[in-house]
């Protein structure tokens, strides 16, 4: 059976911002009065050291922008960022844009019609018969069903595919509030674009299987609402508790049918929704802390970039000094409450 293999990856970011500078220069004033102490502790304990923003709050305060203004800025910033990510991945894979059969784009932080899939396909020079798929509003786990759709296409059609995940969370800074969930969102989220090229039966890492679990009884634990002032995150502190119920069974569904155990996995790409989520995954799977080194490192260096984040970790694993892992489990979580897992094997 044809297997889709990762032939090239590329990640790119807008401007760098240090977490402490963003706090001192903007959010310290944003959260004035009694709420400042709580917000300061949330920022300090977020696990984020550096982050990225197409809109830097030290220069522009987007908290009062209308949704229309934010969407206009989304297109302005997303097109060059997406073009750079896809071009870099294609170069790494040694492919031309017109050789791509399917172009998948994931993004939940902006909307435009014609969408990024059409505009980037045009600007990159993809063929007129290139198929396109746009995946929106799946949030942080979107990269994994996107990877599934692209790998299924490659396996069925025998043609290359590209997946692009691009998020500009910096567009959605909200007005000051006493809501701790907004403080957490402002402390964690960051901007990035990541692209992956998949080819049929190529060398390198193959997409072996995908599994999902959705706990609809907890659908209100993670939300992303369109308001007149951009998109507003709802993030319940109970999310890690829900993940703790489901994550071990999800991983077993990936490994068990292939006779694999946790000990066979030498690479873990766990979406760092926050430090506590990583702690829960570590504890429920009885992993050593070292297994989450790339996940914690990505959170520290880049923040939670929503859908691109798990691809950033997969890329970090590929570049590991001691060599890339032979068996990787990628895990990501988002609205639903949904868990997704992907098994990658050399």
C-alpha span between 98 and 283 (Å, rounded) = 46
Residue 283 contacts residue 273 (beta carbons within 8 Å): no
Question: Tokens for 107?
Answer: 């993004």
Arithmetic mean of pLDDT, 88-103: 98
Arithmetic mean of pLDDT, 99-111: 97
φ and ψ at residue 87, rounded to 5 degrees: -60, -40
* E strand or H helix at 287: none
Arithmetic mean of pLDDT, 277-298: 97
Arithmetic mean of pLDDT, 222-226: 92
Strands (E), the chain: 4-12, 16-18, 50-52, 102-106, 131-135, 161-168, 191-200, 205-214, 222-227, 230-235, 267-270, 327-334, 338-345
Angle between helices 67-93 and 116-124 (to 10 degrees): 40
Per-residue pLDDT tens digits for 177-202: 999 999 999 999 999 999 999 999 88
Spatial CA neighbour of 57 closest among 67, 65, 47: 65
Spatial CA neighbour of 130 closest among 119, 140, 138, 139: 119
Can you list the domains of the chain with their CATH numbers?
4-200 (3.40.47.10), 205-345 (3.40.47.10)
Residue 130 contacts residue 101 (beta carbons within 8 Å): yes
Q: Is the pTM of this model over 0.85?
A: yes
Arithmetic mean of pLDDT, 147-152: 97
Q: Residue 38: is its pLDDT beyond 90?
A: yes
C-alpha span between 337 and 108 (Å, rounded) = 16
Q: Which of 106, 108, 140, 305 is catalytic?
A: 140
Residue 140 bears catalytic tag: yes
Spatial CA neighbour of 302 closest among 201, 167, 152: 167
For the chain, the straight-line distance linking the first and the last C-alpha, in angstroms and rounded, comes to: 16
Q: Token pair 């899939």 is at which residue?
A: 117
Pairing of strands 230-235, 222-227: antiparallel
Q: Residue 251: is its pLDDT beyond 80?
A: yes
Arithmetic mean of pLDDT, 141-147: 97
């Amino acid at each position: 059976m044809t297997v889709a293999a990762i032939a090239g990856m590329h990640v790119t970011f807008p401007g760098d911002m240090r977490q402490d500078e963003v706090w001192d220069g903007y959010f310290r004033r944003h959260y004035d009065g009694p709420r400042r102490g709580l917000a300061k502790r949330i920022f300090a304990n977020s696990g984020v050291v550096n982050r990225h923003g197409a809109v830097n709050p030290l220069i522009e305060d987007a908290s009062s922008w209308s949704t229309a203004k934010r969407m206009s800025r989304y297109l302005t910033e997303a097109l060059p960022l997406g073009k750079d990510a896809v071009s870099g991945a294609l170069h790494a894979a040694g492919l031309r844009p017109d050789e791509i059969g399917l172009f998948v784009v994931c993004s939940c932080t902006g909307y435009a019609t014609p969408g990024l899939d059409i505009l980037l396909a045009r600007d990159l020079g993809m063929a007129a018969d290139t198929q396109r798929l746009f995946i929106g509003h799946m949030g942080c786990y979107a990269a994994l069903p996107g990877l599934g759709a692209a790998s299924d296409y490659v396996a069925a059609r025998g043609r290359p595919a590209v997946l692009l995940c691009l998020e500009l969370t910096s567009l959605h800074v909200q007005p000051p509030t006493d809501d701790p969930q907004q403080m957490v969102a402002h402390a964690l989220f960051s901007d990035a674009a990541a692209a992956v090229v998949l080819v049929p039966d190529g060398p390198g890492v193959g997409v072996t299987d995908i599994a999902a679990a959705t706990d609809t009884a907890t659908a209100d634990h993670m939300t992303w609402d369109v308001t007149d002032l951009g998109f507003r995150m709802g993030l319940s502190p109970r999310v890690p508790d829900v993940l703790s119920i489901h994550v071990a069974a999800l991983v077993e569904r990936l490994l068990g049918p292939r006779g694999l155990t946790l000990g066979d996995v030498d690479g873990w790409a766990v979406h760092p929704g926050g430090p506590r989520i990583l702690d829960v995954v570590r504890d429920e799977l009885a992993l050593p802390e070292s297994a989450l080194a790339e996940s914690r490192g990505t959170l520290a260096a880049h923040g939670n970039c929503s859908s691109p984040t798990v691809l950033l970790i997969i890329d970090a694993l590929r570049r590991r000094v001691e060599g890339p892992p032979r068996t990787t489990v990628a895990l990501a979580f988002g609205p639903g409450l949904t868990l997704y897992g992907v098994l990658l094997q050399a």
